[in-house]
Structure 1
Amino acid sequence: MKIKDKIGWKTAASLVIANMVGTGVFTSLGFQVAESQNTWSIILLWSIGGVMALIGAFIYAELGTHFKKSGGDYIFLSRTIHPLAGYLYAWISLTVGFSAPIAIAAMAMVQYWEPLIGYKNSLTLGVSSILLMSMVHSISVSQSGFAQNILTTIKLLFILSLIIIGTAYASALAVSSYDFGSSWTREIISPGFAVSMIFVFYAYTGWNSAAYIVEEIEKPRKNLPKALISATFLVMVLYIFIQLVMLKHASIEQLSGKVQVATLAFGNLFGNQGVFWVSLFIGIQLIATISGYTWVGPRITNAMAKEFRFWRPLAITNQSGVPVRAIWFNTGISLILMFSGSFEAVLLYAGFVLQLMGTLTISASLALKKAEGFRSPFKPWLQIIYIIFSIWIMVFMLYDRPMESLFGLGIIFIGFIVFLFDKKITE
C-alpha cells in the first residue's frame, strides 16, 4: 500500500473515537441505575472502565507495533498462543464481535428516530444506514478516512455541546438523580455492579480499533500508540461528564431500564423541540459508529481468510486493497442480528464474548519478551490488573446473566467445531 493510501494518527484516532463513542454511552445508564443508583457508583463504573480501556490501549499499541500486520487480535493470538485462538477471535468478530455493534447501533438509532419519523419507516432507515456505510468503505482507504473524519467531527461537536449546555443550565423540572451519599460502598460489591461493568466495557469497546488496521497507518510505530492512547483518554473524560449531565436532568424512575436515556434527560431540559434535535444528532453520531465498525471488522475476517481455506473467498480485495467481500459478508451478518434479538440480549452476549477474547489477547501480550516497537509501561503489572478485573466481571456475569453468557460461550464452541473442519493454507 502506497504512503498516499495510508492514514495519519489523527484519522486513526478519529476511527478509535467513532468506534468507542456510539451506542453504549447513550444507552447504558438506564440499565446501570436499575442496579446502582448512587452517583459515586456511576462515576466509579465509567472511571474503572476508562482506566481498563487505557491499559488495553497501552498493551495493544505494543502488540500492533510488534507484529505490524492488520487483523488485530487474530494476528496477535495466532502468533503468540495458537492458530485456534486467533481463529476463534476472527469467528467471534465475524458473528458478533463487530457485526453485533453495527446491529446494536442501528437498533439504537431506530429507537431514537422513532418519535421523529414514525415506527413503520424507522427499521428501513437503520438498514439503509448499514448499507450506505458498507458502500462508502468499499472504495478506498482514503475514502474511508475522509468519511470517518467528517462523521467523528460531528460526533465530538455534538457530545461537547450536550456536556456544555447540560452543565451550564438547570432543568425546569426538579428531577435530578444525584445522590452523593454513602450507599455506593454497598453497591460496588453487589453482582449488579459487576454486571453493569459489562455495559461499561461494551461502551468502551473500540479503544483497540486502530490496531486492526496497522498496515493502513503511516509510521505505525509512532502513530499507533499516539492514536490509541490519546483517543481513549479523551473518550473516558467525555463519558464521565455525559453520564453526570444525564443524571442531573432525569430521575432514577425515568431512566431505569430505558434505552433512550439521552432523550429523556435532555427532553426535561430542552422540551419537545430539544428532543427532536437531540434524537436526530444521536442517530447521526450512531452512523459514525456503524461506519467505524464497518471499516475495522472486515480486516479481521480478511486476515483469517488469507490463511484458512473455508474463508478463502473473503480474502479477495479490490485494486485499492479494500477487502470488499469481507465488508459485505459482515454487513449481511449485521442485518441478520438486527432482526434476531432484543437490544439488551445482543449487547450482553456480544459484550461477554468480546470481554473473554480481549482478556485472552491481553494475556498473550505477556508472551512478548522483547517487543519490537512501543513497549507498554509497568509490564506485567498492567496486564495482571486487567486480567484479574476482567475475570471478576465475567464470573459475576455468568452468575447474574447465565443465559446470555452461555449463549456467548455457545458461539465460541461453534467456532471451535468449524475450525476442526477447516484447513490452514500452507503456501
Structure 2
Amino acid sequence: MAKAFMYVFFAYSGFQQPFYILSEIRTPRKTFPRSTLTASFLILLLFVSVNLAYVLVVAKDLQHDHLDVPMATLFFSQVLRSWQAQQATAALTALSIFGNIVLTALTTSQVNQEIAKEGILPYGIFFAKSYYTVYGWLSTRSWRHDHLVSDDKVPIPALGLTLASSLVLIGLTAMLPPLAAFEVVVELYTYFAIILVPTAVSGGLLYLKFRPKSTWASRASFKPWLSSLFPTLYFITSALLAITLFVDPAPNSPLELAPGSIKCFIVPAIGISTLAWGSAWFLGLKIHGWWYKTEILAMREALVVQVGEDEYVQLLETVDASWEGYEGSGSSGKYKERGTNIKTD
C-alpha cells in the first residue's frame, strides 16, 4: 500500500517543477496559479481514468502471470490483440520518459546553480555560470526567431553535474533487469525528492510557524484560512510513507515475486543516506568556518524589471561569494578565496 501511494505521489509530482523556473515565465503571478490548477485537474482526471481502464480490461490473473511486463503493454495487447501493440507502447513510454528527463534536467540544473551561487558547492564559480547553447545562439540570429531574447542563457555546468550524477545512477542499476532498474530509479527519485525532502520542508515550516519567537508569518501579505492544516496533513502523510516504505511486503505479494526485485529497505536507505551525505557536507563547511574563523559570504544583487501591472521578473543577477573572516578575527585576508563575480540571466 505504501509503495502504491508513492507511485501516486510520483504521478502528481509534476506540479512542483514550475516552482524552479518562475523567473522564466513572463507573468508568473497570473500564469502560474492558472496553469498549476489546470495541470493538476488534468492529471487527476487522466490518472483515475487510466487506472480504471487497466482494472476493467486486464484480468488479475494476467497481471500476476506477467509481472515483468508493464501494465500499459498488457492493456494495449488486450485491446488491440496485436504484437505491434507492445512495440507502440514501448515507443510511447520512451517518449514520455524522455520528456520527463528533459524537464527534470532543466529544473535540477537550476537548483544546482542556486546552490553554487551560495558558495556551498566546490568550484562554485564554474557551476554558477550560465552560457549560450548552440541552438539558442543560432536561433537569435534567425529571422524566424527574432522575438527571442539574445542574452538568454542556460546553466550548462550545473546541467553537466546533473548528467554526471544520472550516469552514475544508471551505471549502478545496470546489473538489474530493465524493468526492475527503471522501477529502482523512479523509486529513488520519488522517495528522496517527493517524500523525504518535502517531509523536512513541511516540518520546518510548521516549526517556524509555531515557534514562539517567530515573526515572519505576521509580515505576510497573504494569510489563507487554515494555513496550518495543509502542511500538517502533508507532513504526516509524507513522514508515514518515509517510514512504512522500509517494511517488506507480505509473502507471495506481487512486489516480492517480481523478477529482479530488491529488498524494500534498500531504496529508503539510499535516499536517507543521500540526505545524510548532504548534511555531512554542510556540517563540514561549518566546521571549516569555525576552525579558521571564517564564513561563506554570498552577496547577490538582482536586476528586476516590471513587465505588467504588479508583475516583476528577474532579468539578471550578480553574485559575489567568498570565504570571509569574522569581524575582528584578523583572518579575512589569509583564508579568503577568490570570489565569484558572475552575471546570470
TM-score by length of 2: 0.62
Aligned position for 1:327: 159
- CA 1:350–1:291: 2 relative to 1, 3 Å: closer
One-letter code aligned to 1:269: V
- CA 1:213–1:364: 2 relative to 1, 3 Å: farther
Please tell me whether residue 426 in structure 1 is matched to residue 298 in structure 2. yes
Q: How does 1:407-426 map to 2 (within 5 A)?
A: 407-422=270-285, 424-426=296-298
Shift of 1:397: 1.0
Aligned position for 1:391: 239
Counterpart contact for 2:63–2:71, Cα < 8 Å = yes
Shift of 1:240: 0.8
One-letter code aligned to 2:4: S
Q: How does 1:222-241 map to 2 (within 5 A)?
A: 222-241=30-49
One-letter code aligned to 2:16: N
Count the aligned residue pairs: 235
1:12-45 deviations in Å (ceiling 9; x for gaps): xxxxxxxxxxxxxxxxxxxxxxxxxxxxxxxxxx
SS of 2:298 mapped into structure 1:
coil
Aligned position for 1:315: 128
Give the number of the structure with larger relative contact order, counting CA–CA contacts within 8 Å between residues 6 or more apart: 1
2:68 to 245, 258, 281: 258
Q: How does 1:241-390 map to 2 (within 5 A)?
A: 241-256=49-64, 257-258=67-68, 260-270=70-80, 271-309=82-120, 310-312=122-124, 313-318=126-131, 319-341=151-173, 342-354=181-193, 355-366=195-206, 367=209, 369-370=217-218, 378-390=226-238
SS of 1:424 mapped into structure 2:
strand
Shift of 1:267: 0.9
- CA 1:278–1:345: 2 relative to 1, 3 Å: closer
- CA 1:205–1:371: 2 relative to 1, 3 Å: farther
1:143-172 deviations in Å (ceiling 9; x for gaps): xxxxxxxxxxxxxxxxxxxxxxxxxxxxxx
One-letter code aligned to 1:252: K
- CA 1:323–1:375: 2 relative to 1, 3 Å: farther
Counterpart contact for 1:210–1:227, Cα < 8 Å = no
**Structure of greater Rg:** 2
Once residues 210 and 375 of structure 1 are traced to their aligned partners in structure 2, the CA distance between those partners, rounded to angstroms, is 22
Counterpart contact for 1:221–1:374, Cα < 8 Å = no
Shift of 1:375: 5.7
Once residues 322 and 286 of structure 1 are traced to their aligned partners in structure 2, the CA distance between those partners, rounded to angstroms, is 22
Shift of 1:373: 6.6
One-letter code aligned to 1:266: F
Q: CA RMSD in A?
A: 2.3
- CA 1:365–1:311: 2 relative to 1, 3 Å: farther
Shift of 1:305: 0.5
Shift of 1:325: 0.9
1:201-235 deviations in Å (ceiling 9; x for gaps): 12322221111112111222222222222211211
1:261-283 deviations in Å (ceiling 9; x for gaps): 10111111112233332322222
Counterpart contact for 1:247–1:265, Cα < 8 Å = no
Once residues 371 and 320 of structure 1 are traced to their aligned partners in structure 2, the CA distance between those partners, rounded to angstroms, is 34
Counterpart contact for 1:304–1:311, Cα < 8 Å = no
SS of 2:23 mapped into structure 1:
helix
Aligned position for 1:127: none
Structure 2 gap ranges (5+)? 132-150, 174-180, 210-215, 249-263, 286-294, 300-345
Structure 1 gap ranges (5+)? 1-192
Please tell me whether residue 220 in structure 1 is matched to residue 13 in structure 2. no
Task: Say which structure is richer in helix.
Answer: 1
Shift of 1:315: 0.3
Once residues 214 and 285 of structure 1 are traced to their aligned partners in structure 2, the CA distance between those partners, rounded to angstroms, is 23
- CA 1:218–1:364: 2 relative to 1, 3 Å: farther
1:112-157 deviations in Å (ceiling 9; x for gaps): xxxxxxxxxxxxxxxxxxxxxxxxxxxxxxxxxxxxxxxxxxxxxx
Please tell me whether residue 402 in structure 1 is matched to residue 265 in structure 2. yes
1:22-76 deviations in Å (ceiling 9; x for gaps): xxxxxxxxxxxxxxxxxxxxxxxxxxxxxxxxxxxxxxxxxxxxxxxxxxxxxxx
Once residues 84 and 76 of structure 2 are traced to their aligned partners in structure 1, the CA distance between those partners, rounded to angstroms, is 10
TM-score by length of 1: 0.51
Task: Say which structure is richer in strand.
Answer: 2
- CA 1:376–1:277: 2 relative to 1, 3 Å: farther
Aligned position for 2:2: 194
Shift of 1:300: 0.4
Once residues 93 and 188 of structure 2 are traced to their aligned partners in structure 1, the CA distance between those partners, rounded to angstroms, is 24
Shift of 1:290: 1.4
Counterpart contact for 1:263–1:278, Cα < 8 Å = yes
Once residues 281 and 212 of structure 1 are traced to their aligned partners in structure 2, the CA distance between those partners, rounded to angstroms, is 27
Counterpart contact for 1:246–1:266, Cα < 8 Å = no
Once residues 222 and 154 of structure 2 are traced to their aligned partners in structure 1, the CA distance between those partners, rounded to angstroms, is 27
Once residues 314 and 358 of structure 1 are traced to their aligned partners in structure 2, the CA distance between those partners, rounded to angstroms, is 25
SS of 2:18 mapped into structure 1:
helix
One-letter code aligned to 1:294: A
- CA 1:280–1:195: 2 relative to 1, 3 Å: closer
Once residues 213 and 374 of structure 1 are traced to their aligned partners in structure 2, the CA distance between those partners, rounded to angstroms, is 22
Aligned position for 2:177: none
Shift of 1:251: 2.2
Shift of 1:314: 0.8
